[in-house]
Amino acid sequence: MPEIAIIGGTGIYNPDTFELIEKVFPDTPYGKPSDEILIGKIAGVEVAFLHRHGTTTPYPPSSVPYKANMYALKELGCHYVISACAVGSLQRKYAVGDLVLVDQFVDFTKKRDYTYFDDRIVHIAIPDPFCDYLNAVFAETAKKLSIKFHNGGTYVCIEGPRFSTRAESKMFRQFGDIIGMTVVPECQLARELGMCYCSIATITDYDAWKEETVDIDMVKKTMALCLDRVLRLLEAGLPKIKHDGCHECIKAAKDCGSLQ
């Protein structure tokens, strides 16, 4: 049973370094996950890989079956969840091509299914939503690999699928460092299930606050150029993750009663 899950796009799944063992497509109380879950090994470490947006059925950010995805990974035995994603920069010092180990988020989404606990009163404590342990592992690894990264950054999550207007982008700059569309509710669902969550974000653009127009071709092109850094970081960092490296998320979930 894999303890580590990786959620990402097609490029993050590298058949040259991923040793496939099996594919599973489980049913959950919340429907099917967005795609088959690929169980295999990267650098000798067993992982479960899930395409967030699907491969046969495309799921835009607002329609990703987040609850099914996270539940299925939990049922497979995953304790750590590593999300690879593309984001825009809201600050000059967060440059295109940099990686960010996210440590906070601000939620500007509007219509998503945010919790497993619609049928009872459960208050989730999530002041520090991302896993310090995983961030430390990848920060140390990035330094050794001489990969430019930011150890911390606030992710503003918007609904999508459209990008920001210039007015919105200028407003969002007051709240965060980077902007994307997928960390919510993925991150908080992981906390409800007692899983440690880490987001490795690749900056692909400057949103709309600079004098440029962001489009999907720009994002894809920059992500492709930066993909090697993310893959090297994962391949070198995964073997460093210990079985009992962190239990803070499990403890936090139990303390608020979300795992009862």
CB-based contacts of 247, cutoff 8 Å, min separation 6: none
Does the active-site annotation cover 119?
no
Please report the sign of the dihedral spanned by the C-alpha atoms of residue 120, residue 123, residue 129, residue 134: negative
Unique residue bearing structure tokens 């169980």? 39
User: Which of the residues 119, 177, 207, 215 is marked catalytic?
Assistant: 207
> CA 230 from chain center: how many Å?
13
Unique residue bearing structure tokens 């936090």? 252
Does the active-site annotation cover 205?
yes
- Residue by residue, DSSP assigns 30-99 as T---SSPEEEEEETTEEEEEEETT-SSS---GGG--HHHHHHHHHHTT--EEEEEEEEEESSTTS-TT-E
User: Which of the residues 118, 119, 205, 217 is marked catalytic?
Assistant: 205
- Dihedral of CA atoms 63, 178, 83, 195 in degrees, nearest 10, equals -90
Residue positions annotated with a catalytic role = 205, 207
